[in-house]
Each structure stands twice: as C-alpha cells, then as structure tokens.
Amino acid sequence: MASLTRYRCPVTPDDCPTSASRGFCAIHEWERLVPERILISEELNGPGGSGGSDGAPERRPGDGGEAASGRRQEGAGSGPGSAHEPTAGREAERAPRPSGTRPPRPVPTRPPIVRPAPVRAPTVRLALVLAGVLVPLRGEGEAPTRLGRDAPDCAHVTGLDLLDQISREHAEFFWESGRLYVRDTCSSNGTFVDGDRIEEPARVWPGRHEVRLAQDVDLVVVEIDEFGAPL
C-alpha cells in the first residue's frame, strides 16, 4: 500500500492545519512544519475505516509486507545518491516566507570623497639693488625691510652712511595681501615711484616700477632664487 507525507506543526499538531509541502505553520508562523508519513487508505477512510469494499482488514505499518516495503522506500530515498535530495532542496528554497517579514535591504555604500590638496602659489623671493648691493626683502607676515643710513637692513651696504641726501630712516618695503608696497618714513628728501613723490604707500613690482630715494639714489626691485642670486 502506498503512503504519502504530510507536514504538521510541532507545537500543536492536532490543532494546526497540515500541509502537503514544506513550509511554516499558519498559526505559529516561526515554526517549521515537520514531515509525517501516513498510508493513503488512512488519509481517504480515516484511522478507523476499512481499506476496501470486501471488508478485508487493513494492514498496519507494523505488518511485515508494508513495513518492509516502507523501509525499502525510505532506504532508497535517504542515501547520498538519492533522487529525492534535489527535490527536497528545491522545496526548501520554495518554502513560503513567514507573513509580515521582509528581506533586509542592502545598505548602499558610498565611495570615499577624495579632496585634492590645495595648490599653493610658488614663493616669490625679491630683493633690492641699492648702491650695487643686494638687500633681500622679507616675506609676507614678517617685519618690513627698512632703508636708511642707520637701518640695520642696510648695514652691509658700503658707503651708504656717507650719502647725506638719504635720511637715517628713509623708507620701508612691506607685503600686504600678496602685494609689495613701499612707504616713505618721513624722510627729508622724499621717496619717488615712477618719478612722483609718494605720500601714501605705493605698490611696486620688479620690472614695472622705478623707485628712487631722494634725488639720485635709484633702487631696482629684482627676483632672486633660493640661493639669493638674481634671476
């Protein structure tokens, strides 16, 4: 006699509905149904009904023939090479998901933002040519470069102390917002830019402006390299 497999809830098998396929209990949604093998005659006629119209007693699983065939069927379907293994795997994949649950959403990952390093302007090094001698100018954010007969920045200029037309503290050069300016520091004979005597700070740059102290002491603004040599 053939048999079939029903799946019942392991919590309350008599109260919960059965299923013909693998899955989860409709009452206990998180409980997976377990298989239970029953005879076809018992499924059709009930546990107490007869197996045929002639009133012949129904054979139970304990009888010899059906028990042996049942064992042969179970043995044939449970080995490593059994043909039922792919079917069972597909049934497990098609098992219904419990109601009210959703698959987790993948969390999108954003690539890291790589910001380019700021490009700094090349450092400009300037100097003054005073009486044939280089007087390096300090950079922005530093103290002004002062010119005069008693100015420490001009102490290495030979013969400057003998020029009476230049005041002891005559002029100074300073940076502001990346621009170079010259300012007269209350000299007696004045400071000139492009032939005009200045009263306020005037902007200067190499090759663009002519600077003069008093009447005949010319200054030349030049660029120098990292070693202090004119470019």
Can you tell me whether residue 135 is helix, strand or coil?
A: strand
Average pLDDT over residues 14-18: 81
pLDDT surpasses 50 at 49: no
Query: Which pairs with CB-CB distance under 8 Å and at least 24 residues apart come from 154-162?
Result: 154/130, 157/130, 157/131, 157/133, 158/131, 158/133, 159/131, 160/130, 160/131
pLDDT value for 97: 61
The number of helices, as runs of H, and strands, as runs of E, in the chain is: 3, 12
Q: How far apart are CA 163 and CA 46, in angstroms?
A: 133
Can you tell me whether residue 162 is helix, strand or coil?
A: helix
Task: Give the E-state strand segments of 151-216 in sequence order.
Answer: 171-176, 179-184, 191-193, 196-197, 202-203, 211-213
Q: How far apart are CA 190 and CA 27, in angstroms?
A: 104
Average pLDDT over residues 201-208: 93
Rounded to 5°, the CA angle 143-217-142 comes to: 5
- In this structure, of 31-35, 68-72, 194-198, the range with the lowest mean pLDDT score is 68-72
Place of tokens 């380019």: 116
pLDDT digits (tens, 9 = 90+) for 131-146: 999 999 999 999 999 9
Residue with the bigger pLDDT between 68 and 147: it is 147
* CB 31 within 8 Å of CB 24: yes
Torsion angles phi and psi, residue 27, rounded to 5:
-90, -55
Residue with the bigger pLDDT between 181 and 47: it is 181
Residues 6+ apart with CB under 8 A from 149: 160, 161, 163, 166, 167, 168, 170
pLDDT averaged over the chain?
Answer: 77
* CB 50 within 8 Å of CB 34: no
* CB 187 within 8 Å of CB 196: no
Closest CA to 198 of 213, 179, 176, 180: 213
Percent of the chain with pLDDT over 90: 38
- In this structure, of 13-22, 36-45, 80-89, the range with the lowest mean pLDDT score is 80-89
pLDDT value for 11: 78
Q: How far apart are CA 10 and CA 156, in angstroms?
A: 104
Rounded to 5°, the CA angle 210-216-220 comes to: 30
- In this structure, of 91-105, 107-121, 184-198, the range with the lowest mean pLDDT score is 91-105
